[in-house]
Structure 1
Amino acid sequence: MPTDDTIVPLGAAYFPVPAGSPTRSYAFLLVPGFTLLAFSSAVEPLRIANQLSQQPLYRWQLMSESGAPVSSSSGISVCVDAPIGPMDRATRAFVCAGNPPSAAAAPKVVGAIQRHARFGGAVGGICTGAVALAAAGLLEDHAFTLHWENQPTFREDFPALCPSANRFEISGPVMTCGGGAAATDMMLSLIAEDHGAEFSAMVSEMCLRKVMVGIEKEQRSSLSVLIRSRNPGLLNIVTLMNAHIEDPLTLDDLSRVAGYSRRHIERMFLSVLGETPGEFYRGIRLDHGRTLLSTTDMGLLEVALACGFGSVAHFSKSFKTRFGTAPTKFNRTIRAARKTR
């Protein structure tokens, strides 16, 4: 099982999550022929969530029937942490399968999922993992899905069950997806339930995936999605803020360019974003500073000036307030990590 050092990797991007947020556990039961793409698409959003928050929001464990490495559908074998066994009730347990779908119905796999559900645990299926849930009798009262290629055979084997055509389904304690990129979709939905839509949107950004499928062709998601507003005035002001990080505009400047009164701008920010314009703007500038410290060799004064702060002292105080650590300490940690890579 990964340690805290490995599940909370360092990164340039950051998104604050309340300190001390609980760690949620996942277990991935790998069966022979599981789809590597679907498995990694499920795990990586959890890793990214940890990296963005710099907290162990998620922990995961890999299991197989015997505890031995499992060969994926591409022939690449993946080592696991343990043989299939009892799991803590709070663990979300997913069966990761592929072709042949029948591999998911192995007695030991079905028994483990059945037992976990009986004691109140949440269960899921990735790609053809729903076959294990069906064999365990866990799908009768839930919406579910599996990869479209395998649905005709599934209907033959389980004529009383009807999978949906959706990319994923979350129905109470039962979670299923069609595999591939749909595994990411499902995990982003679960992350949104745990930590909010804005945080999930940022995880999606890190996956170079659109927050809302079909909205944009660009890698970055729509600003309107990220800040949950389509108010043109607010979007215009935030765009201006992002364009003026080194030379911050005053609220009077923003008011004049946007064509709104100061009071109206303050009300918009507080009602939509829960922050004053100054607090939000400072957050943008500090996030930029953190990125510069993470990815460049710039000194603190250079970074402070690049973020529109007149002194290192002002920058340092604001940085520590936002990120919980002084920029000097953060810089030392980043540079030490670079040397060990």
Structure 2
Amino acid sequence: MTRPGDDKIFARASAIIPRGVAHVRLDGPVVTRDFAFLVLPRFTLLAFSSAIEPLRIANQLTQAPLYRYRLVSMDGAPVESSAGVRIEVDQGLEPLSRETTAIVCSGTDASQAADRRVLAWLRDHARKGGGLGAICTGAYTLARAGLLGDDAPAVHWENRPAYRELFDVEPLQQIYVIGRKHFSCAGGEAGVDLMLALITRDHGPKLADAVAEMCLHSRRREASATQKKVYPSPMLARNPAVARVIAAMQANIATPLDRDALAEVFGHSPRHLERIFRAVVQETPKSHYLGLRLEQARNLLSDTTLSILEVAIATGFNSRSSFSKAYKHRFGQSPAKTR
């Protein structure tokens, strides 16, 4: 963070402070925090605006320069979003101040949106101690730059199988995560929740709640809130047998069905089930089933007082050790650390 009048970070930028009717009295000193949103080709407008608008609203409500932000592109030229809308930016890949947090905003071209120049720019910023963030599929770029390590980011449910395949890390099912060195959110309107969490850290829940009200955001969701497991109706309508298998998995978490039993529900051979399920869901039946069980386990750990062994048994594991191993492999932390 920087205080007004400090070094000329963002020399060409100033905080946006529109006037409005609502007002929130700020308790404490005015401290300006700087963000640089790197917008990559075909970034998603919804995720981007969900992240940037709460910052503008916080400034407006307090009539103070709490947040200062600028837009960056790979070459300083306008960038086209996934919706075909082009936006102007403030700069290209010039170096950022150490006090600035660089946020990568990506979208439909997740794995190849950034070139080598972008990866080098991010690595240089990280070496200087600059903060990092990712919106929607921006986590792909941070992972390609080697800046996430073994940390699991929050990635949109649609992109989780591909991320797992590319980086051999199970992305989080939760809507956002804030770590020591970086943060990420799954896209969509989760950017609002992420920024509300940062505003809460910076200026307290009173301002964050007021920003949420201005966004017509009914409540501030915690990072632990999980994305809904969505199976589009058209997909399931075209593949009713796959829908039956998924329903059978969801109904048999404590006593998992074996491969042959799932094939019987499917109505064809296990090999045929494997092929069709992978084509439709982009995941093997075994991996998908395990994911459902572990998501249920995480919910039980977060929302109940059941022991770890009881949670293991409730989600179909024969021992605490086998459960803990599978849980840590998928989420990057032990069951005990989730509590």
TM range (shorter): 0.5 to 0.7
Aligned position for 1:171: 179
Q: Is the Cα–Cα contact under 8 Å of residues 130 and 144 in structure 1 kept in the other structure?
A: yes
Q: Partner of 1:192 in structure 2? A: 200
Q: CA deviation at 1:104?
A: 3.6
Any idea what the Cα deviations from partners look like across 1:308-333, whole Å, max 9, x if unmatched?
A: xxxxxxxxxxxxxxxxxxxxxxxxxx
Post-superposition offset of 1:105: 3.6
Give structure 1 stretches of 5+ with no counterpart. Answer: 215-341
Q: Which amino acid aligns with 1:108?
A: R
1:156 deviates by 1.3
1:3 paired to 2:11:
no
Is contact 1:49–1:203 with CA below 8 Å preserved after alignment?
Answer: yes
Secondary structure (helix, strand or coil) at the match of 2:206 reads: helix
Q: Check conservation: 1:105, 1:135, Cα contact below 8 A.
A: no
Question: Contact 1:24–1:59 (CA<8 Å) still a contact in 2?
Answer: yes
Q: Identify the residue that residue 114 of structure 1 maps to in structure 2.
A: 123
Give the TM-score normalised by the residue count of structure 2.
Answer: 0.60
2: CA distance between counterparts of 1:91 and 1:103? 25
Q: How does 1:36-51 map to 2 (within 5 A)?
A: 36-51=45-60
Q: Which has more radius of gyration? A: 1
* Cα distance in 2, alignment partners of residues 49 and 73 from structure 1: 27
List, as ranges, runs of 4+ consecutive aligned residues in structure 1 with deviation greater than 4 Å. Answer: none
RMSD between superposed Cα atoms in Å: 1.6
The Cα of 1:3 is off from its aligned counterpart by: 3.3
Please show how residues 283-294 of structure 1 align to structure 2 within 5 Å: none
Query: Residue 80 of structure 1 aligns with which residue?
Result: 89
- For the pair 1:209 / 2:217, whether they are aligned, the reply is yes
CA contact (8 A) 2:114 2:141 kept: yes
Find the residue that maps to 1:103 and give its secondary structure.
Answer: coil
Instruction: Give the match's secondary structure for 1:101.
Output: coil
Contact in 2 for aligned 1:39/1:126 (Cα 8 Å): yes
Q: Number of residues paired by the alignment? A: 211
Give the secondary-structure state (helix, strand or coil) at the position aligned to 1:125. strand
Q: CA deviation at 1:153?
A: 1.0
What is the CA distance between 1:197 and its match in structure 2? 1.1
The structural deviation recorded for 1:142 is 2.7
1:127-276, aligned counterparts within 5 Å?
127-159=136-168, 161-213=169-221
AA aligned opposite 1:26: F
Distance 2:28 2:178 in 1: 27
Deviation at 1:154, TM superposition (A): 1.2
1:57 positional shift: 0.4
In the superposition, the TM-score normalised over structure 1's length comes to 0.60
In structure 2, how many angstroms separate the alpha carbons of the residues matched to 1:202 and 1:150? 32
1:23 aligns with 2:22: no
Structure 2 CA distance, aligned partners of 1:30 and 1:168?
A: 19
Q: Which runs of 5+ in 2 are unaligned?
A: 1-11, 223-339
Write the deviation string for residues 139-184 of structure 1: whole angstroms up to 9, x where unpaired. Answer: 124341111111111111111x221001001111211011110011
Distance 2:29 2:112 in 1: 39
Q: What's the secondary structure of 1:83's corresponding residue?
A: coil
CA distance in 2, matches of 1:167, 1:119: 28
Amino acid at match of 1:186: L
CA shift for structure 1 position 18:
3.8
Q: Secondary structure at the match of 1:62?
A: strand
Identity %: 48
